[in-house]
């Protein structure tokens, strides 16, 4: 209710900067109030070099701060984990697990979801669309990391008022590749299965440590 009132006041005042600040504050409040998430996702990658699109789907689990797990089920089974800045990717068909560290544009969305950073301090924000101006009932908020004017990476979030929950995201990396996520069946602040983030690959799995 409070978020709806604030947005109404800003819209009535016709203040774009104030409206952006309200949306950022609403997103931050939603993140601050999130302890766990369990939701379905559909992921599409458009390659700038090849012009092709690859689509995958599965389930995403989040435990704040610092824990993410992506269970891909279609078209192939794999598990992607983030624990702090440590990453792991398990490919079931190949019996292979790669371990590394989160860095660069690939880390923008996971850092936003699971990190300690305050949205307004780490990102510069601007509204691409509002519920009444092209957003189809949602806000589209573009976030670019501060402190690096040459950075090409950006995250655009689709936020549903009045709670400002994240319905989708679009990631653009420095090579022009575009990854989009659509989320559904969102379950917030419910207990997650025990040991979910302590995944161990089956015996015989090849483990590769990347720098």
pLDDT digits (tens, 9 = 90+) for 58-67: 999 999 999 9
Q: Answer yes or no: is pLDDT of 45 > 80.
A: yes
Report the mean per-residue pLDDT for the chain.
Answer: 86
Residue 116 has what DSSP assignment? S
pLDDT tens-digit series, residues 63-122: 999 999 999 999 999 999 999 889 999 999 999 999 998 765 567 888 889 988 899 998
Query: Helix or strand or coil: residue 70?
Result: strand
Residue 16 banded pLDDT, cuts 50, 70, 90: low
How far is Cα 120 from Cα 17, in angstroms, rounded to an integer?
13
pTM of this structure: 0.84
181-209 per-position pLDDT tens digit: 999 999 999 999 999 999 999 999 999 99
Instruction: Tell the burial category of 200 from Cβ atoms under 10 Å away from its Cβ (0-12, 13-18, 19+).
Output: exposed
CA atoms of 199 and 16, how far apart (whole Å): 45
What fold is seen in the domain 2-209?
A: outer membrane lipoprotein receptor (LolB), chain A (2.50.20)
In terms of Cα–Cα distance, which of 112, 133, 108, 126 is closest to 23?
126
């Amino acid at each position: 209710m409070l978020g709806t009132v604030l947005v109404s006041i800003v819209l009535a005042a016709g203040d774009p900067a104030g409206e952006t600040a309200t949306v950022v504050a609403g997103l931050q409040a939603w993140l601050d109030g999130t302890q766990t998430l369990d939701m379905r996702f559909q992921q599409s990658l458009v390659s700038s070099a090849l012009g092709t699109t690859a689509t995958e789907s599965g389930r995403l689990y989040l435990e704040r701060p610092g824990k993410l797990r992506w269970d891909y089920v279609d078209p192939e089974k794999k598990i992607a984990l983030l624990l702090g800045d440590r990453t792991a990717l398990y490919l079931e068909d190949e019996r292979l697990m790669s371990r590394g560290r989160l860095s660069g544009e690939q880390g923008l969305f996971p850092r936003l979801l699971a990190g300690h950073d305050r949205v307004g301090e780490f990102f510069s924000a601007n509204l691409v669309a509002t519920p009444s101006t092209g957003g189809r009932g949602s806000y589209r908020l573009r976030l670019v990391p501060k402190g690096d004017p040459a950075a090409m990476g950006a995250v655009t979030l689709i936020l549903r008022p009045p709670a400002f929950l994240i319905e989708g995201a679009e990631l653009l990396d420095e090579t022009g590749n575009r990854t989009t996520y659509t989320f559904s069946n969102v379950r917030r602040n419910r207990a997650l299965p025990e040991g979910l983030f302590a995944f161990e690959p089956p015996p015989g799995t090849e483990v590769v440590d990347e720098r």
